[in-house]
Amino acid sequence: MVRDKTASDFLAALEVIDTSLEAFHQRKRQMYRPLATELRKLLCDGASTLLPRVFENVQFHKLESTEQIEQVPSPRLMPSYFTSTVLFITDQVTRSTLRLARSGARLGVEAWLEQPFMTPQITIREFIRSVADKEGAHADPSANDTLQLAGSIHYGADQSQAHEIAAIAEYIAEFVRNEELCLRPGIALRRPTAGGAWELLQ
């Protein structure tokens, strides 16, 4: 029963992400809020975190910005702000995509979440949790330092956190859809074809 619920919760998270991304790219920008909430469930929700409960030994692609920072010879030379995404802006489209390390290096989930994001002081985990906790699942009266920074940066007409969250969500959705992943024993899921949708095992 518990493992069936884990499988169902995982599929529900993917459906919310896919639906929210489609709406987001149709300029319904507030859909970044449910995206952040589902990313928290999948990646950084303590003992309840979904992705490690579903799959064994997940290895995400390292960010290009992480490799660049690792090559900085001194902490004093660290940039105060950097980007981990490629940004595409036209009159019709604003789209942000994660820049992945050219080396093809991989990181486990915990190490991937600890990568710096936007500044050396913010991690991917902190970014997702800030947006999810203060704008997605809750409506806190004040923004923390992470959201103040993100809100001060605009991509086109939008605050940066909307597009950064969408970029992370697209990466996770494509990764789960296309990578060879090993299900944990007893998880009632199957994927009939590579690149196809996961579904409950009947």
Give the pLDDT score at 3: 62
Give the pLDDT score at 118: 92
The pTM is what? 0.93
- For the chain, the three-class secondary structure string (H helix, E strand, C coil) is CHHHHHHHHHHHHHHHHHHHHHHHCCCCHHHHHHHHHHHHHHHCCHHHCHHHHHEECCEEECEHHHHHHHCCCCHHHCCCCCCCEEEEECCCCEEEEECECCCCCEEEHHHHHCCEECEEEEEHHHHHHHHHHHHHCCCCCCCCHHHHHHHHCEECCEEHHHHHHHHHHHHHHHHHHHCCCEECCCCCEECCCCCCCCEECC
Give the pLDDT score at 4: 87
Give the pLDDT score at 179: 94
Range of the domain at 158: 2-200
Give the pLDDT score at 173: 96
Give the pLDDT score at 48: 92
Give the pLDDT score at 192: 86
Regions of the chain where pLDDT drops below 70 = 1-3, 138
Give the pLDDT score at 87: 86
Q: What is the count of structural domains for the chain?
A: 1
